[in-house]
Amino acid sequence: MDNERFKILLENVKSGHTPVDEALNSLRSLPYDDMGYAKLDMHHGIRTGFPEVVFCQGKTCGQSVEIVKRLAGLHSTILATRVAPDVAEKIAEAVAGCTYHSDARILVVNEKVRLIPQASRARCLLFAAM
């Protein structure tokens, strides 16, 4: 769950649109959701502003799809790394709004591009190894 959805849930409880028991049920899997083969950190989005990243290497295609589907129900943006093309295709069939960057083997759900104002632009040096 990200901050935006958490805030909406609280506002809906406050206004009476969502019963307390329903809200409690929505929060029941927090902070972790144990899927047996993966333990998802459901508070990651609240703590950091971005949900947990899915590392697909070493997981079956079905496991990767299920993890992304589970996160898609709670987060507005999802990042999956080390995604093989066939796995990306299956995830895209199951979850709307997927963009696959084949060179980087990264899949993003609901990719949002945000430009940083010129005056506040900083430099970033990023290293990645295989």
Among 115, 48, 61, which Cα is nearest to 87's? 61
Question: Is residue 128 in some structural domain?
Answer: no
Question: How far, in Å, CA of 86 to CA of 61, rounded?
Answer: 8
Q: Give the percent of the chain with pLDDT over 90.
A: 42
Query: What is the domain count for the chain?
Result: 1
Calculate the alpha carbon distances from 7 to 2, 10, 25 in Å: 9, 5, 16
Q: 67 lies in which domain range?
A: 3-112
What are the tens digits of pLDDT across the range 58-96?
999 999 999 999 988 777 788 999 999 999 999 999 999
Question: Is residue 126 in some structural domain?
Answer: no
Among 83, 104, 103, which Cα is nearest to 95's? 83
For the entire predicted model, the pTM comes to 0.66
